[in-house]
Homo-oligomer: A and B are copies of this chain.
């Protein structure tokens, strides 16, 4: 398995996801500004992976700072990383966790601070993989045997430190001996399904069929799909789920056809401070993502474009939310809080 992100002595090394599946190219970020640029440019994407990248970016911030201006540099690193993408809450969660650690260490020898921040970022990387494996254990039982699983976007190893959230559940179901295959929606405009999910699952030998996003309804109606599993970028306190644009449509179509719709996400994706999904900020991305593909124009010059990168699926369409601490079901305002508080 190719590594999505790694801490190395040269810097943070990321697999460039804008160039998959045609090229397997790695990018080395030597400071937090380069990490921020990689997140904004979607060299790395997926809420948990963005969280790990931000943590490593904060560690780079300490590593590269003049000891005399460490406070200011850490503030600036946090601000720069936080300004990259607004929707995935894991970004802010990871920055906050690193800021809190820095706050506790402030005044200690700079080498000790640097080592502690690096260790914390590497620990968050390791924890993310363990969290995904736990999600797989909790979620595998939900996947019907002998049917097709539909997923949208990429909530796989490439969207995390490894193993994946939605694809982690699928991997765990396969490992448990279930005979399943996957339908991957291509996920326009950025084609994470076509470029990343199909690539990842083919590497694992899990049978995968690529469809365009607008085919999801047709196949949900056909009776072939046993369940839908997707990831999440932010989950509000009431269970509303922000995820890649198109997720809401799949959720409605799943319910209309009696197919369970599952969300797999770590506790760090929960934002219980928000009463509902209406309060989740939705990133608007450049028009060129819609009008051009690999530099080729697919629409008339000058056409107006909307490009919201995410949508919000109301909790009533969500059959269950799989986390590393267990499976939450409606009413989510109770079940999610219970998982967080314990």
Contact = CB atoms under 8 A, between A and B. Distances in A.
A127 interface: no
Given A215-B245, A252-B256, A303-B202, A291 B210 contact: yes
- Chain A at the B interface: mostly helix, strand, loop or mixed? mixed
Nearest to A289: B212
Contacts of A304: 207-210
- Please state the number of chain copies in the assembly: 2
A211 B305 contact: yes
Nearest to A249: B217
Contacts of A291: 194, 210
A213 interface: yes
Contact of A186 (B211, B219, B252, B299): B299
A183 B217 CA distance: 20
A246 interface: yes
Nearest to A256: B252
A199 B300 contact: yes
Contacts of A216: 249
Contacts of A191: 298-299
B21 A210 contact: no
Interface in A183-242: 183, 185-189, 191, 194-195, 198-199, 202, 207-219, 221
Nearest to A305: B210
Contacts of A218: 245, 248-249, 308, 311
A339 interface: no
Interface in A303-339: 303-308, 311
A182 to B, nearest CB: 10
A290 interface: yes
Nearest to A294: B296
Contacts of A208: 303-304
Interchain residue pairs A-B with the least CB separation, the first 3: A214-B246, A217-B249, A188-B212
Given A21-B299, A207-B304, 8 more contacts: A189-B212, A194-B290, A195-B298, A195-B300, A209-B304, A210-B290, A210-B304, A293-B294
Interface of A: 21-22, 152, 183, 185-189, 191, 194-195, 198-199, 202, 207-219, 221, 245-246, 248-249, 252-253, 256, 290-291, 293-294, 296-300, 302-308, 311
25 contacts: A21-B297, A22-B297, A152-B214, A183-B306, A185-B214, A186-B188, A186-B299, A188-B212, A191-B299, A195-B298, A198-B303, A207-B304, A209-B305, A210-B290, A211-B290, A211-B306, A213-B246, A214-B214, A217-B248, A217-B249, A218-B308, A249-B249, A252-B253, A256-B256, A293-B298
